[in-house]
Copies of this chain bind each other. A is one copy, B any other.
Amino acid sequence: MADGTQLGLTAVIVAVAGGVPRVVTVRSGFEIPRAYRHHAEPPPHRDTLPGAPFNPERYRTLQEGVRAVAEGLSGLSLRYVEQLYTFGDRHRDPHELFGGPRSLVVGYLALVREEPLAGAAAEWHALYDYFPWEDWREERPAPVDAVILPALRAWIEAAPDDAARTRRLERSQLAFAIDGGDWDMERVLERYELLYEAGLVVEAYRDHDLAERVGLAPARPAVIARALGRPMARDGRRILAAALERLRGKLKYRPIVFELLPPAFTLNQLQGVVESLSGTRLHKQNFRRLMINGGLVEATGQFESQTGGRPAELFRFRRQAIHERTSTGGIPSADA
């Protein structure tokens, strides 16, 4: 921009296959500028969300812009696109730390049916590799008790004053259900941000370290307790967290899961996709009841026999359901 900032568009492209939610990443083209080579090695991790600077001459809307970029990089056809958030914090991007312009990124969520990737440099990665603390389908994720809670307690204690301590404690309660309370599956972004601030994800270290090496005031404390999850280039994981949060929130009241499924599917497949994204197990019979009585799906009369048991009827999404206020679109409660 005229004022020395650059506007980028970034897409979180999500698909689910075999109960595993995945996201498209591309190889990062980031190189540390020559002038700074003696300061630092290139960051070791390169998973990058597909994106590009916005070209205002070419595209009438931002959404057209991301669509073109994301479809170009991945070779996929996006079935659903939704704006997430615009990120513009200083010092969370190595480009900027090495003297590049201040970068602003508009993040988008895109849903597709999983297919092999055409783009040379694009690949699918399991979503929960980036957020191992978010998948509660099998059991309470091990890192929560083993790493996160103790580290958060230490971080709370280490607050500079009482007011800060209280704030840290309240945020930890809300995001991670520290000291009892319920874990709210939707607060994905809050959890990531807290882990970043508490120094539990590598990106916090990277940003801090780079800032220091190029002589800028560190944005965050340098205390790194332990790195959790697979990192991403730039601010990628933060955008990804926003995407998962939006997805989980929307599952409850808008029928967007169907964008991830083939035209005909069994109720078990449907449930599997919902569970994989929401990160919890659901009560099968109630899920059934909700989908059918809620009018979200209708039977096709055809059957799938590769179920490993009794054949399952194939259903299709009832498009009219969108117009019916009763349909919650939804998710029943979690189930042990």
By a beta-carbon cutoff of 8 Å, the part of chain A in contact with chain B is 1-7, 53-57, 60-62, 83, 85-86, 88-91, 101-102, 104, 106, 170, 173-174, 181-182, 184, 322-325
Of B3, B54, B170, B173, which contacts A56 at CB under 8 A?
B3
A3 neighbours in B (Cβ, 8 Å): 1, 6-7, 53-56
Of B7, B53, B90, B184, which contacts A104 at CB under 8 A?
B7
A85 touching B88 by the CB < 8 A rule? no
**A204 CB → nearest B CB, Å:** 16
Q: Which residue of B is nearest A55, CB measured?
A: B3
A83 neighbours in B (Cβ, 8 Å): 85-86
B325 touching A4 by the CB < 8 A rule? no
A174 touching B322 by the CB < 8 A rule? yes
A173 neighbours in B (Cβ, 8 Å): 323
**A107 CB → nearest B CB, Å:** 10
Say whether, besides A5-B56, A55-B3, A322-B174, A88 and B102 are in contact (CB < 8 Å): no
**A189 CB → nearest B CB, Å:** 12
A57 neighbours in B (Cβ, 8 Å): 4
A91 to B56 Cα, complex, angstroms: 12
A55 neighbours in B (Cβ, 8 Å): 3
Q: Which residue of B is nearest A101, CB measured?
A: B2
A322 to B175 Cα, complex, angstroms: 11
A51 to B174 Cα, complex, angstroms: 32
Q: Can you spell out 14 A-B residue pairs with CB atoms less than 8 angstroms apart?
A: A1-B3, A2-B4, A4-B56, A4-B57, A5-B54, A54-B88, A56-B88, A60-B89, A60-B91, A61-B88, A86-B106, A173-B323, A181-B324, A182-B325
A86 neighbours in B (Cβ, 8 Å): 62, 83, 86, 106
**A322 CB → nearest B CB, Å:** 7
A325 to B106 Cα, complex, angstroms: 31
Q: Which residue of B is nearest A96, CB measured?
A: B56
A89 touching B61 by the CB < 8 A rule? yes
A182 to B54 Cα, complex, angstroms: 39
**A32 CB → nearest B CB, Å:** 21
**A114 CB → nearest B CB, Å:** 28
**A57 CB → nearest B CB, Å:** 8
